[in-house]
Amino acid sequence: MSPPISLRRIDRYDGHHVTYHYRSHKSERVEQESVDVYTFIGRMVQHTFPKGFQRIRYYGVQATKTFTKIKGLIQAALAHVKGIIKGAIQIIAPLTYRQRYQQSTGRDPLRCPHCQREMGVWRIWHPTYGLIHNELQAIARGKYAAQAPRADPAGSPGRTVWPAAGEIPVSLPGLQ
């Protein structure tokens, strides 16, 4: 199996950035690019197939001879599908996740089933992947630090989360 880029095309590596050259298809000239190490690794890894998967280039649709024959058919099919997708997006786009969930299940996902008060999303947990989003961690990292500081009405140390107008602020003691 050949690598996605030859080692001789890598010009420099300083521990933080990788500089490499390539032939641009637009300008037909050799161009040089310097990217972060993780970006470079990401670009290389996307060419790796999952275990047991093998690419077949010379048979089927990817064969040069076959592809030239059916290229027109593929373009026509894509043009037809594009119109259908645009129509579907216009139908789906105006609705939020909450509205779509209410339409399909008949219940509001942000309404407490016990007290019927509106809930806020603090954590998103998945049975397989665990904690996907934790708003308290975002607050601790300073995601909301750009807002103007306000005094806590209770006078307690820590942070206060200020919700939209008309709702109650929540004090989070211990978060600095």
Q: Assign 3-class secondary structure to 67-87.
A: HHHHHHHHHHHHHHHHHHHHH
Whether the pLDDT of residue 150 is over 80: the answer is no
- Contact between 132 and 125 under an 8 Å Cβ cutoff? The reply is yes
pLDDT of 146: 47
**Collapsing DSSP states into helix, strand and coil, what is residue 164?**
coil
Dihedral Cα 124, 126, 130, 133, nearest 10 deg: -20
Whether the pLDDT of residue 36 is over 70: the answer is yes
pLDDT tens digits, residue range 89-141?
A: 666 667 788 888 888 899 988 888 889 898 887 888 888 888 887 887 777 77
pTM of the model: 0.34
pLDDT of 76: 85
Whether the pLDDT of residue 174 is over 60: the answer is no
pLDDT of 34: 94
Find tokens 């399909």 and name the residue.
Answer: 104
Whether the pLDDT of residue 167 is over 80: the answer is no
pLDDT of 12: 94
Whether the pLDDT of residue 42 is over 80: the answer is yes
Length of the chain, please?
176
- Contact between 74 and 82 under an 8 Å Cβ cutoff? The reply is no
- What value does the mean pLDDT of the chain take? 77
The DSSP bridge partners found for residue 18 are 13, 35
Share above pLDDT 70 across residues of the chain, in percent, rounded to a whole number: 74
In this prediction, residues 54-61 reach a mean pLDDT of: 72
pLDDT of 147: 47
Q: In this predicted model, which residue has the larger pLDDT, 28 or 158?
A: 28
